[in-house]
């Protein structure tokens, strides 16, 4: 029963994964951005579990557990500790481009990643790559786009984390038996990275009173 529906359910997760990535590019609210990231991480967990059960790969189940612990629990917690007032204030994020333009560009980026991924899918030849590889690649590119287009340090951090999610989403289908040690190292890496960036943002906020990166143009020594 489950094995019959694995592929469609994985595709289902993939569709929503893409949608959350687009949402993170275009949403205005800080808190919504973080929530969308958590939903995206949950979808990644679901996809890893589905593929892990289908290919009976314990490593992927471990990936799912590690991803859940780090991205759904640890990262929001770390961010809340380091810069709670920044995120949980209801405020809007600045953008370099206006939202319709950013959305159209992200559609073009998704098209591009599908275009790039199609030959790779045939080259890899694993069962789930036709869904996961292009969507994961799109997540990577859209995360990079978020980093470029947002003027806010916090949103840029979330962009980095989306890139990471995209890479994982693609890799769970390409390498179903990734050694757990690689996963654990990535898993420790990501919360530490967000902790460091979070603390940095907090320092910036203390010094300049805002976290709008575009305003940090002049160098001041004291």
| Positions in the binding site for other proteins (CB under 8 A) | 4-5, 7-9, 11-12, 14-16, 18-19, 22, 26, 98-100, 103-104, 106-107, 110-111, 114-115, 117-118, 130-131, 134-135
How far is 38 from 162, CA to CA, in rounded Å? 10
- Supply the minimum distance, in Å, between the C-beta of residue 192 and other proteins: 33
**Closer CB to other proteins, 99 or 196, in the complex:** 99
Closest listed residue to residue 102, CA positions, set 214, 30, 24, 211? 24
- Supply the minimum distance, in Å, between the C-beta of residue 222 and other proteins: 41
Tokens representing 58?
């314990």
**Closer CB to other proteins, 69 or 114, in the complex:** 114
**Closer CB to other proteins, 104 or 188, in the complex:** 104
Contacts with 120 (C-beta within 8 Å, 6 or more apart), sequence order = 129, 133
- Supply the minimum distance, in Å, between the C-beta of residue 4 and other proteins: 8
**Closer CB to other proteins, 149 or 197, in the complex:** 149
- Supply the minimum distance, in Å, between the C-beta of residue 40 and other proteins: 14
**Closer CB to other proteins, 15 or 179, in the complex:** 15
- Supply the minimum distance, in Å, between the C-beta of residue 184 and other proteins: 31
């Amino acid at each position: 029963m489950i094995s019959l529906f694995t592929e469609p359910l994985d595709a289902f997760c993939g569709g929503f994964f893409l949608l959350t990535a687009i949402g993170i590019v275009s949403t205005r609210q800080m808190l919504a951005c973080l929530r969308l990231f958590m939903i995206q991480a949950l979808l990644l967990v679901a996809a890893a579990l589905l593929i892990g059960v289908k290919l009976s790969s314990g490593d992927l189940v471990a990936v799912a557990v590690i991803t859940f612990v780090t991205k759904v629990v640890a990262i929001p917690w770390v961010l809340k500790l380091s810069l709670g007032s920044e995120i949980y204030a209801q405020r809007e994020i600045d953008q370099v481009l206006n939202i319709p333009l950013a959305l159209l560009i992200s559609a073009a980026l998704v098209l591009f990643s599908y275009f790039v991924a199609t030959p790779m899918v045939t080259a890899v030849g694993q069962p789930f790559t036709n869904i996961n590889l292009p969507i994961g690649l799109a997540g990577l590119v859209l995360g990079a786009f978020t980093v470029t287009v947002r003027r806010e340090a916090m949103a840029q951090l979330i962009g980095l984390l989306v890139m990471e999610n995209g890479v994982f989403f693609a890799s769970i289908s390409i390498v179903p038996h990734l050694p757990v040690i690689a996963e654990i190292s990535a898993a420790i890496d990501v919360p530490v990275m967000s902790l460091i960036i979070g603390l940095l943002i907090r320092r910036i906020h203390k010094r300049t009173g805002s976290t709008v990166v575009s305003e940090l143009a002049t160098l001041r020594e004291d």
